[in-house]
């Protein structure tokens, strides 16, 4: 216990030097934590944006639909088994049926290829955000034969709310079906892909146009959270062995890859910071050892054992690091709290939308962002003190006490 | 002063009420319907089996000189099938199109590949022209998808000073798969020859016009041998089709309309 007290007092004997090391550690840690929190915030925002605009947490399809999404690959039996399983599953927070196809949308001025997504407007609103993303017109008001398209697509077609467009697609028989519809509303989401290339129709109207009876291509499910999605996906997959039940991360592996990439880059950033920190601490401790040659000599002369001397130097290193770490954490939490409403990237939003990002980034701090650096920092402190400690124990008391 | 204002008002009303075309219209004879006239115009350009050779000239600001495409086509109206073969320019020679309702197939000899043109490509330009693939396969909906309103008779319509034309307005049914707001057609009174068609959007802006000229007699028909399509929203674009020969009500071999025939680049 003596050496601990001794070490604690020692580090405060030269407050300026200790202060510099503590500041370096604190600022380094806080910077890393905040930048990682922003990175994770960016990735999680992207995940949640993708999930809430279109993807949902879990989707159910007929076997093989995802690999070759043809109209004919509908859910068997009009999706009755799947619908029953979804309704029986209490963890389902919301679900919506969809029919999907590829087609062509034309106005008198232009025509664009489009994904036709036929939805039950009320149900869809319980899973995805399109209903909340309307910028003009209505999200499926009462009139029949209205469609909802992205603002970007409307711009390409040069149409607005109330204008007529013609939708052509291949029906189940392979015949080209064409229908005139009117634009009921325009939406704008964070996903450029959705805004440029997707047209939402009423389910019954699309089913009639494509001649599929009451057939469905997919059921999209909101599980409440990404964590719940895992259990829910497994439960539904077990209940529906003949269908493909896939979670968002299986449907969009790209999103998972981005999360992994962020995690891997974090490792390198931490490594760089801690190596720099280790040299800083070692350097300062070495200085303190050289400065105190006489003092150490006297300590040894009056009977401080070598192991205690090593312990003292190591303790000094650990204390400096820990104090720096705690202040760094406090700074990081303060920064995170200050940015809790998100950083508005409004100015860059256009570019970010291309990657399916929202324009506001909310930083995300996780428990493991604290535990791992703490462990690594203490390890770094131990390693950094090895060299100064070894210099200290090699001093000969008889010479050291005469050192000036 | 009130009198002058009144005059101005009246003038304004007249101007607003005036139709988009400038000419004066005479009333059409009683008992004649727009639909009947539209049918006559349709019948002038098509028969149950029609064979033609034509040359298409595409002008566009993107092209340094006009692109000339020679082609031959066989159209079986009742069988809802047709076959088109490109004879020139040399690099496109042998490219063939086969329409078998409701599909359109295309064969490109250079890559020796037959492909079905997917719905997403239907409205793409056909051979670089202002016509689309969809124009090739569209069945005659000019009669069933529109209401036809006979607006009157125009003497000496634009481009045809020595003829008289019925002016018929085609208004698409609400649910018809037609992008246009309306079409105004001039159809020659005596023989039912189409003279011009103007395509409007729903806000009343004229977007493209199709003019017919060089009317020649072919049996009982008076057939325009020059068709000029001008998209008005694209500056400098124009597509002219000049008919070299046209035969109506002929007989075709059934083998003509097969995918096998597509690959047979008959030169």
pLDDT digits (tens, 9 = 90+) for A275-305: 887 787 778 778 877 888 888 888 888 888 8
Using a CB-CB distance cutoff of 8 angstroms, which residues of chain A are in contact with residue B137?
176
pLDDT score, position B258: 86
pLDDT score, position A284: 79
Strand pairing of A58-61 and A244-247? antiparallel
User: Comparing A91-105, A144-158, B138-152, which segment has the lowest mean pLDDT?
Assistant: B138-152
Give how far B216 is from chain A: nearest CA, Å. Answer: 32
Nearest to B209 by CA among B157, B153, B143: B157
- Mean pLDDT over A169-189 rounds to 86
For the record, the structure tokens of B229 come out as 């399509």
Last residue of one domain, picked from the residues A198, A222, A246 = A222
**Partners of B239 in the β-ladder:** B58, B229
pLDDT score, position B15: 45
Q: Determine the Cα–Cα distance for residues A154 and A134; give it in Å rounded to an integer.
A: 13
Give how far A45 is from chain B: nearest CA, Å. Answer: 33
> Do the domain assignments include residue A227?
no
User: Comparing A60-74, B8-22, B171-185, which segment has the lowest mean pLDDT?
Assistant: B8-22
pLDDT score, position A371: 82
- Mean pLDDT over B204-219 rounds to 92
Residue A150 and residue A22 share a domain: no
pLDDT tier at B267 (50, 70, 90 boundaries)?
Answer: very low
pLDDT tier at A310 (50, 70, 90 boundaries)?
Answer: confident
Using a CB-CB distance cutoff of 8 angstroms, which residues of chain B are in contact with residue A168?
119, 122, 134, 177
Using a CB-CB distance cutoff of 8 angstroms, which residues of chain B are in contact with residue A211?
none
- A352 pLDDT higher than 70: no
pLDDT score, position B206: 93
Give how far B180 is from chain A: nearest CA, Å. Answer: 6
Residue A261 and residue A326 share a domain: yes
Domain of residue B210, CATH code: 2.50.20.10
Share of chain B above pLDDT 90, in %: 40
A127 neighbors A95 (Cβ within 8 angstroms) = yes
pLDDT score, position A271: 81
> Do the domain assignments include residue A334?
yes
CB within 8 Å: A164 and B202: yes
pLDDT score, position A347: 56
Nearest to A144 by CA among A95, A203, A214: A203
Strand pairing of A111-119 and A198-202? parallel
> Do the domain assignments include residue A268?
yes
What Cα–Cα distance (Å) separates residue A124 from each residue in A52, A98, A190, A207, A289?
11, 8, 18, 16, 69
Entry pTM: 0.72
Query: Which chain A residue lies closest to B100 (C-alpha atoms)?
Result: A175
> Do the domain assignments include residue A8?
yes
pLDDT digits (tens, 9 = 90+) for A220-259: 999 888 888 888 888 888 888 888 999 888 888 888 888 8
pLDDT tier at B14 (50, 70, 90 boundaries)?
Answer: very low
CB within 8 Å: A169 and B181: no
Q: A266-283 burial, b for 16+ CB within 10 Å, e for fewer?
A: beeebeebbeebbebbbe
Give how far B266 is from chain A: nearest CA, Å. Answer: 30
CB within 8 Å: A165 and B172: no
pLDDT score, position A205: 93
pLDDT tier at B13 (50, 70, 90 boundaries)?
Answer: very low
> Do the domain assignments include residue B19?
no
> Do the domain assignments include residue A367?
yes
Nearest to B136 by CA among B149, B120, B147, B125: B125
- A58 pLDDT higher than 70: yes
**Partners of A69 in the β-ladder:** none
pLDDT tier at B108 (50, 70, 90 boundaries)?
Answer: confident
Residue A377 and residue A345 share a domain: yes
Q: What range does the domain containing B177 cover?
A: 25-263
> Do the domain assignments include residue A244?
no
> Do the domain assignments include residue B1?
no
pLDDT tier at A358 (50, 70, 90 boundaries)?
Answer: low
CA angle, residues A123, A127, A132, in degrees to nearest 5: 90
Question: H or E element: which one contains B136?
Answer: helix B133-137
Residue A127 and residue A217 share a domain: yes
pLDDT score, position B1: 45
When scoring B117, B119, B209 by the number of chain A Cβ atoms within 10 A, the one with the most, hence best to mutate, is B119
Residue A202 and residue A96 share a domain: yes
- Mean pLDDT over B120-132 rounds to 79
- Mean pLDDT over A260-287 rounds to 80
Give how far A187 is from chain B: nearest CA, Å. Answer: 22
- B7 pLDDT higher than 80: no
Instruction: Give how many domains chain A has, as a whole number.
Output: 2
Nearest to A285 by CA among A160, A152, A383, A142: A383
Mean pLDDT, chain B, as a whole number?
Answer: 84
- B21 pLDDT higher than 60: no
Q: Determine the Cα–Cα distance for residues B33 and B153; give it in Å rounded to an integer.
A: 12
More confident residue, B177 or B241: B241
- A354 pLDDT higher than 60: no
Q: Shortest CB distance from A169 goes to which of B119, B174, B178?
A: B119
- How many of the other CB atoms lie within 10 Å of CB of A216? 25
Q: Tell me which residues of chain B have a C-beta less than 8 Å from any C-beta of chain A.
A: 102-103, 118-120, 122-123, 134, 137, 172, 174-181, 199, 201-202, 207, 233
Instruction: Give how many domains chain B has, as a whole number.
Output: 1
pLDDT score, position B9: 52
Residue A82 and residue A17 share a domain: no
> Do the domain assignments include residue B151?
yes
CB within 8 Å: A180 and B175: yes
pLDDT score, position A392: 84
- A264 pLDDT higher than 60: yes
When scoring B177, B197, B207, B237 by the number of chain A Cβ atoms within 10 A, the one with the most, hence best to mutate, is B177
SS (H, E, C) A380-402: HHHHHHHHHHHHHHCCCHHHHCC
Q: Shortest CB distance from A104 goes to which of B102, B119, B175?
A: B119
pLDDT score, position A359: 61
Q: Determine the Cα–Cα distance for residues B60 and A385; give it in Å rounded to an integer.
A: 78
pLDDT tier at B53 (50, 70, 90 boundaries)?
Answer: very high
Q: Shortest CB distance from A176 goes to which of B102, B172, B201?
A: B102
Q: What range does the domain containing A163 cover?
A: 58-222
pLDDT digits (tens, 9 = 90+) for B165-207: 999 999 998 888 888 899 999 999 999 999 999 999 988 999 9
Give how far A351 is from chain B: nearest CA, Å. Answer: 27
> Do the domain assignments include residue A155?
yes
Residue A202 and residue A107 share a domain: yes
> Do the domain assignments include residue A212?
yes
Last residue of one domain, picked from the residues A177, A201, A222 = A222
- B223 pLDDT higher than 90: yes
Cβ pairs bridging A and B (under 8 Å): 60
């Amino acid at each position: 216990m003596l050496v601990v007290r001794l070490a604690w007092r020692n580090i405060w004997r030269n407050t300026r030097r200790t202060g510099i090391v503590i500041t370096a550690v604190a600022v380094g840690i806080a910077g890393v934590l905040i930048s990682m929190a922003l990175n994770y915030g960016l990735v999680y925002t992207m995940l949640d944006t993708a999930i809430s605009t279109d993807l949902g947490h879990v989707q159910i399809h007929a076997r093989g639909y995802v690999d070759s999404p043809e109209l004919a690959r509908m859910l068997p039996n009009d999706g009755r088994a799947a619908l029953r399983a979804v309704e029986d599953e209490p963890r389902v927070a919301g679900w919506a049926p969809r029919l999907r196809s590829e087609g062509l949308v034309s106005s008198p001025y232009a025509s664009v290829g489009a994904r036709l997504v036929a939805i039950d407007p009320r149900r869809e609103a319980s899973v995805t955000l399109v209903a909340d993303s309307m910028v003009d017109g209505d999200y499926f008001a009462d009139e029949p034969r209205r469609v909802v398209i992205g603002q970007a697509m409307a711009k390409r077609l040069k149409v607005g709310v109330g204008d007529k467009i013609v939708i052509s697609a291949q029906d189940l028989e392979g015949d080209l079906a064409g229908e005139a519809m009117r634009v009921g509303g325009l939406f704008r989401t964070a996903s450029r892909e959705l805004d440029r290339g997707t047209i939402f129709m009423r389910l019954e109207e699309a089913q009639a146009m494509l001649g599929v009876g009451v057939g469905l291509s997919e059921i999209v499910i909101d599980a409440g959270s990404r964590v719940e999605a895992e259990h829910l996906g497994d439960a539904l997959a077990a209940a529906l062995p003949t269908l493909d039940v896939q979670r968002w991360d299986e449907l969009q592996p790209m999103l998972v890859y981005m999360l992994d990439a962020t995690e891997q880059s974090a490792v390198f950033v931490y490594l760089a910071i801690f190596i720099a920190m280790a040299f800083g601490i070692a350097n300062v401790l070495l200085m303190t050892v050289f400065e105190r040659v006489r003092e150490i000599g006297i300590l040894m002369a009056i009977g401080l054992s070598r192991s205690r001397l090593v312990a003292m130097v190591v303790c000094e290193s650990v204390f400096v690091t820990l104090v720096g770490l705690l202040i760094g954490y406090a700074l990081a939490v303060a920064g995170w709290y200050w940015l809790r409403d998100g950083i508005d990237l409004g100015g860059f939003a256009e570019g970010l939308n291309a990657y399916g990002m929202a324009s506001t980034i909310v930083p995300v701090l996780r428990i493991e962002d604290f535990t791992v650096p703490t462990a690594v920092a203490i390890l770094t402190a131990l390693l950094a003190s090895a060299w100064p400690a070894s210099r200290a124990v090699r001093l000969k008391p008889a010479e050291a006490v005469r050192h000036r | 002063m009130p009198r002058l204002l009144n005059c101005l008002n009246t003038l304004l009303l007249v101007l607003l009420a005036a139709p988009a075309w400038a000419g004066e219209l005479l009333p059409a004879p009683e008992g004649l319907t727009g639909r009947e006239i539209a049918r006559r115009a349709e019948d002038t350009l098509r028969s149950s089996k029609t064979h033609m050779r034509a040359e298409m000239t595409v002008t566009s600001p993107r092209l340094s000189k006009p692109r000339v495409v020679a082609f031959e086509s066989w159209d079986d109206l009742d069988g809802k099938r047709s076959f088109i073969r490109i004879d020139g320019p040399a690099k496109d020679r042998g490219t063939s199109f086969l329409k078998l309702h409701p599909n359109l197939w295309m064969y490109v000899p250079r890559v020796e590949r037959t492909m079905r043109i997917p719905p997403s490509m239907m409205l793409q330009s056909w051979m670089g022209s202002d016509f689309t693939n969809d124009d090739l396969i569209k069945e005659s909906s000019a009669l069933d998808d529109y209401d036809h309103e006979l607006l009157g008779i125009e003497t000496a319509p634009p481009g045809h000073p020595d003829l008289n034309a019925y002016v018929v307005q085609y208004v698409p049914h609400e649910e018809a798969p037609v992008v246009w707001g309306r079409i105004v057609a001039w159809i020659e009174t005596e023989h039912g020859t189409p003279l011009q068609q103007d395509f409007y959007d729903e806000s009343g802006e004229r977007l493209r016009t199709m003019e017919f000229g060089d009317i020649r007699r072919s049996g009982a028909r008076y057939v325009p041998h020059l068709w000029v399509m001008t998209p008005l929203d694209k500056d400098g674009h124009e597509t002219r089709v000049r008919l070299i020969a046209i035969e109506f009500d002929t007989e075709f071999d059934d083998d003509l309309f097969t995918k096998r025939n597509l690959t047979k680049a008959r030169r």
